[in-house]
Chains A and B, each alone.
Chain A
């Protein structure tokens, strides 16, 4: 893999990010709604206050000047100022990031921990009882939307059994083991809901990938050399089968930062997804813009990373 290739890829990123930001900005600017709508419906507030606020935040300028302002500020590291919370957007996002990383990150890890062994095992014994059961469960898992499984979990584990709390609290007043235990207890449901959903589709993917590889001649050769079945699977099959899986996971990673809107809303997890949805509902465009743009950047970046990893895992792929 040449250095030239990477540089070229990075250079291509710049116009695509500019294009993305332009589209996002114009769509948000054209969307109906007004961040100071509550002021307008309140009879005790004179209209001049709203006019002054609009002028202060530059909402009356034409879209293209607003876009240029935003772009210049963004390049200088100023992410904007939230209309609704009246604080810097980067602070708002950074407040939400740890919870998002912990909850969504651990759900991704759970998904992989479940999907890899189950997928590989199912593929090595295709159409066995284990494969049938795993397949069925995987189908059930990814056909049930998270809002359904989330509510189901709440009904069973919180309301019927009263084992787990269903309101996620980021600040827990406890120390030592108690602190971790409380955190684990409240994270179980959201992490499981997300992890099982993502794990289910990953199982299908791993299985088909392993099935593709296991039929190849070099595997038969390895077996005929007398290498143990276990070693054939782990050393020869899985390693090659994982190449597409790794790229898929890399492409999914931006989700870890973007949060999971529905699940966060159900369990009141104060992550980036819930910040995004509440900002959309209150027409807080600087926050919506910043969050969506960060996600867009991450998607572009991880795309590049996936390309690079792919080349590293499979040296036969050449770049020019």
Chain B
């Protein structure tokens, strides 16, 4: 699908011949994430659809207590410090952004009165500013009014490096101005196709100015409100024990009518995922459990009890396989896998092509992940209706052997293929995690049949995912031939996600291996596309660029998707909870309710 096709489709939506949902689904089929597809429409002058309202209760309260289980409990409740999703989820009980992302990738108003669009004048024609109109009559839990000053303050608070807020990336390059008491403008230095970042979603939660104004910068850690949140959200803070319990009670002055349904909320932390699933699905002690990292087989068995169900919500996280483009076994200037080297065997495109044919995604899905990991070949993919036409899954040992044979890689006496004295022997690393070790075994077995030997290496997660410069086993150093892990798509816009394929982001000693391009792939074509996408104001062209970048990386076999990693939650039978794969688990908590 190229730019021309996209324009045609958008034209159809405008003319009413194609539904928004249909458009989003087609975009996902070519690898454009749902939120991004929705933004395409907004920029092209098609207003964002208000998601269908499924909320049934006709009055606030009366739902009794809502008991939710996070097997890693929140450890802090200031959204600007909440690095982990558990902390963001906990902060979300009390704090809200201007807008959140729903499951289809549309913006849903929270503290904003409306979603900015070209029609309502919220988006400027040059793409350099967004105007947010705030809801009036919103009150903080302590009764003070919520105004544009609070938005302004959050921007100042987060962008100050001395605060060391994790949200700094969202706020440091924008300018926020107050127009009037209930209007703020976010200004960008250059045209910004993805404008919905500041004040939106998990990094957009707003804290009250009147309680934090005295605690900015280096003093931020002393704010008493860090541990006793005062927000605008559906529940009012009651008690917090880090890692163990967060409690809240119904906010009688909540700004959305008839919400929330539950009289109180109790978020319990600790324990492990399996017993959390058990407490919801089997004994019914709890109503909801987060992040069910449990084998699907066990979940299905627990579900048979009939007390609850498992809900799988698609997002953008992907478990994928990376092929090192540099030589991890030779040291140049004090660093292995240096950009000055080329991988002795993986630099041959035929070898990479053969390896891609040896990855049996479907078996991995079927025997290991089940519902919790649908197979995919793409790196950038859409929610569950995903079906890429450009990159089908192909597993074929004979074809792989054939390709290698033709490329001159002949089997030796030991059954391992070699050419010019270089053997096809690879070290394949990942973190210690049972499904990953099983996946490794499946791939190793297929490779063996094709005459490739794989040595499996597994590193304990706390080392593998650390940024310890002194440790050779981190995933960013990638001192092996192949590796596999899950990369999270924390932002609905693919720009950050696709940084993994640009040459200037290559992880190296110079940037302390903090570069995002782990394979160290150098592609002038991809670089050019990315640079163009940065300055490309036309979102349709920009979308076509991201699709092309995904296809370049996949079709050159630099990386390949193994399985999608959707959000998996356990819900009590009657609980109706809208979970979005593009925002926090609790982003729509105000609309949770129990069916009668």
Contacts and interface: CB of A to CB of B under 8 A. Distances in A.
A265 interface: yes
B241 A34 contact: no
Nearest to A37: B466
A11 interface: no
Contact of A33 (B172, B243, B468): B468
A26 B179 CA distance: 55
Contact of A85 (B76, B283, B466): B76
A85 B462 contact: no
Contacts of B133: none
B57 interface: no
Given A43-B499, A47-B514, A283-B462, A169 B268 contact: yes
Interface in B162-177: 162, 164-166, 168-170, 172
A39 interface: yes
Given A43-B499, A86-B226, A166-B279, A48 B161 contact: yes
Interface string B269-294: 11110010011001101100000000
B202 to A, nearest CB: 10
B270 A44 contact: no
B471 interface: yes
Given A170-B241, A270-B241, A86 B81 contact: yes
Contacts of A43: 490-491, 496-497, 499, 516
A158 B168 contact: no
A158 B499 CA distance: 49
A33 B462 contact: yes
A95 interface: yes
Interface in A251-286: 265-266, 268, 270, 274-275, 278, 281-283
B490 A33 contact: no
Contacts, number: 151
A33 B463 contact: yes
A41 B203 CA distance: 16
Contact of B165 (A49, A92, A283): A49
A274 B516 CA distance: 34
A79 interface: no
B247 interface: yes
Classify chain B: how many residues form its interface, as a range. Answer: 35 or more
Given A39-B83, A56-B164, A265-B272, A34 B466 contact: yes
Contacts of B81: 86
A45 interface: yes
A169 B164 CA distance: 34
B270 A274 contact: yes
A162 interface: yes
A52 to B, nearest CB: 5
A217 interface: no
B527 to A, nearest CB: 18
B76 A84 contact: yes
A34 B241 CA distance: 23
Contacts of B465: 37, 41
A45 B88 CA distance: 15
A281 B283 contact: no
B471 A52 contact: no
B65 interface: yes
A31 to B, nearest CB: 9
Contact of B161 (A52, A81, A274): A52
Interface in A149-173: 154, 158-159, 162, 165-167, 169-171, 173
Contacts of A47: 511-512, 514
A87 B268 contact: no
A206 B371 CA distance: 55
A53 B80 CA distance: 13
Contact of A34 (B78, B164, B467): B467
B213 interface: no
A212 interface: no
A209 to B, nearest CB: 38
A50 interface: yes
Contact of A171 (B218, B245, B279, B488): B245
A46 B490 contact: no
Nearest to B505: A43
Contacts of B69: 167
Nearest to B512: A47
A32 B468 contact: yes
B56 interface: no
Given A53-B164, A162-B283, A169-B266, A274 B239 contact: no
A167 B271 contact: yes
B169 A46 contact: yes
B164 A37 contact: no
B72 interface: yes
A270 to B, nearest CB: 4
A52 B166 CA distance: 11
A92 B221 CA distance: 15
Contacts of B271: 167, 265-266, 268
A118 B72 CA distance: 41
Interface in A10-59: 32-34, 36-50, 52-53, 56
B75 interface: yes
A196 to B, nearest CB: 21
Interface in A87-109: 87, 92, 95-96
A268 B268 contact: yes
B243 A85 contact: yes
Contacts of A96: 241, 244
A159 B84 contact: no
A34 B268 contact: no
Contact of B242 (A37, A41, A92, A268): A92
Interface string B226-265: 1100000000000101111101000000000000000010
A281 to B, nearest CB: 7
Contacts of B283: 158-159, 162, 165-166
Contacts of B78: 86
A152 to B, nearest CB: 13
Contacts of A173: 65, 264
B462 A44 contact: no
A44 B169 contact: yes
A186 to B, nearest CB: 10
B168 A50 contact: no
A266 B467 contact: no
Interface in B363-409: none
14 contacts: A33-B466, A39-B83, A42-B166, A43-B499, A52-B161, A52-B164, A84-B76, A84-B242, A86-B81, A167-B279, A171-B239, A268-B275, A270-B244, A278-B75
Given A32-B463, A86-B81, 7 more contacts: A45-B169, A48-B161, A49-B166, A166-B283, A265-B272, A270-B245, A275-B243
Interface of B: 65, 69, 72, 75-76, 78, 81, 83-84, 161-162, 164-166, 168-170, 172, 203, 218, 221, 226-227, 239, 241-245, 247, 264, 266, 268-272, 275, 278-279, 282-283, 285-286, 462-463, 465-468, 471, 488, 490-491, 496-497, 499, 511-512, 514, 516
5 nearest A-B pairs in the assembled complex, by CB-CB distance: A40-B467, A270-B244, A85-B242, A268-B271, A268-B270
